[in-house]
Amino acid sequence: MGTVTVKLVVVIMITVGLMVEGSRAISLCDMNDEGLEACKPSVTQPDPVDPTPQCCEALKGANLTCLCSYKNSMLLPSLGIDPTLAMGLPAKCSLDMPSDC
């Protein structure tokens, strides 16, 4: 399979997984749904805001290597998240991204 096809399959699997979760709490890279919601205004256009303390606290407990794996994913834009803003968020919370990100 080509790289694009593999990425598409992964995005579809994640999307289906999120849909199946239904009313259960969503967790992505060790961030729960509350943490994700706290950070969303900081990673969405047209007027992103500085991250809140709640967002930064959620990021402190997140698996940043896992989050980095979504850097070129189609999933983030499909959720209204700007990947460039998302990758810059840890720095705004005084956190270091993995060197291979």
pLDDT tens sequence across 70-92? 889 898 898 889 999 999 999 99
Domain with residues 3-92, CATH architecture? Orthogonal Bundle (1.10)
Contact assessment for residue 98 and residue 64, using Cβ atoms and an 8 Å cutoff: yes
| Cis status of the peptide bond prior to 46, with omega within 30 of 0 | yes
How many CA atoms does the CB half-sphere of 48 hold within 13 Å? 18
Q: Give the pLDDT of residue 2.
A: 62
Contact assessment for residue 29 and residue 36, using Cβ atoms and an 8 Å cutoff: no
Contact assessment for residue 44 and residue 82, using Cβ atoms and an 8 Å cutoff: yes
| Res. 98: pLDDT tops 80 | yes
Q: What tens digit of pLDDT does each residue of 1-57 get?
A: 566 555 544 555 565 555 544 444 567 789 988 999 999 999 999 999 999 999 999
* Residue-range domain boundaries for the chain: 3-92
